[in-house]
């Protein structure tokens, strides 16, 4: 199966974007924070949810493509992208879930950083969670 055929089959159920080199927005999606890194993946999967991530990994396995995962896009070494492989972009997956019934335990989703918490979404400021590089902790 070719990449074009595989993308055609996956597109109806993929809620994010599947960008090939000829698509509008591909160049912007493949760029990372370090401008010295200029890699060109065969496909950029901009995932909106965990099902998209699972589908992207399955696609890479079926097509035998190497995978790079972009979270926040700030890896200075350029490991968030890849030449001729599949770049799984988690940046569209932003969110923080707080389970107040479980003692305000919270869970961070992919690339949601401290600046992703907007005041209008919170009933109190500062918000009830604080972000760290490894996890979200109750404030």
Task: Report the distance separating Cα 35 and Cα 76, nearest Å.
Answer: 9
Whole-number pLDDT of residue 110: 53
List the structure tokens of 81: 């992208």
| pLDDT confidence of residue 59 | 95
Quote the pLDDT of residue 85. Answer: 96
Q: How far apart are CA 10 and CA 19, in angstroms?
A: 12
| All domains in the chain, ordered by first residue | 3-89 (3.30.43.10), 94-138 (no CATH)
pLDDT at 97: 64
**What does the pLDDT profile of the chain (139 residues) look like in tens digits?**
899 999 999 999 999 999 999 999 999 999 988 888 899 999 999 999 889 999 999 999 999 999 999 987 667 888 899 999 999 999 888 766 666 666 655 555 555 555 555 444 445 444 544 444 444 444 4
pLDDT of residue 94: 76
Quick check: 85 and 67 in contact, CB under 8 A? yes
- Rounded to 5°, the CA angle 16-21-24 comes to 60
* CA–CA gap between residue 64 and residue 74 (Å, rounded): 26
CA 20 – CA 64 distance, rounded (Å): 17
């Amino acid at each position: 199966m070719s990449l074009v055929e595989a993308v055609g089959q996956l597109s109806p159920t993929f809620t994010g974007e599947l960008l090939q080199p000829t698509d509008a927005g591909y160049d912007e999606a493949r760029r990372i924070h370090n401008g010295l890194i200029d890699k060109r993946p065969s496909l950029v999967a901009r995932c909106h949810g965990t099902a998209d991530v699972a589908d992207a990994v399955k696609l890479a396995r079926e097509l035998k493509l190497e995978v790079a995962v972009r979270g926040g896009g700030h890896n200075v070494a350029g490991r968030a992208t890849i030449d001729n492989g599949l770049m799984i972009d988690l940046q569209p997956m932003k969110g923080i879930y707080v389970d107040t019934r479980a003692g305000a335990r919270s869970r961070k989703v992919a690339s949601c950083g401290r600046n992703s918490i907007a005041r209008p979404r919170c009933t109190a400021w500062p918000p009830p969670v604080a972000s760290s590089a490894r996890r979200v902790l109750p404030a």
